[in-house]
Amino acid sequence: DKTGNLLPWALELIEQERQLVEQERQRAEQERQRAEQERQRAEQERQEKERLIAYLRSQGVDPHNLPNHAG
């Protein structure tokens, strides 16, 4: 009967939807990890810049008044 044919079709649709949701969850997690890696990279860069500024100041150099060097 029609009910017997409808159930497998509905279950297949539910399974497809579940797979799509899982794929989207994984994609969102990968994006979150990429964003976290970028945040960490930016933080490392900021810390390195601060160390360089501190070093220049310890050598008597104003890091905000450096001469320009033409290549």
What residue ranges do the domains of the chain occupy?
1-59
Residue 53 near residue 63, CB atoms below 8 Å: yes
Using one digit for the tens of pLDDT, what is the confidence trace for 18-53?
999 999 999 999 999 999 999 999 999 999 999 999
Q: What is the pTM of this model?
A: 0.63
Burial degree of 2 (CB within 10 A; 0-12, 13-18, 19+): exposed
pLDDT surpasses 80 at 6: no
pLDDT at 1: 53
Phi-psi region of 69 (alpha: psi -120 to 50; beta: other; left: phi over 0): beta
d(CA 17, CA 19): 5
d(CA 4, CA 48): 67
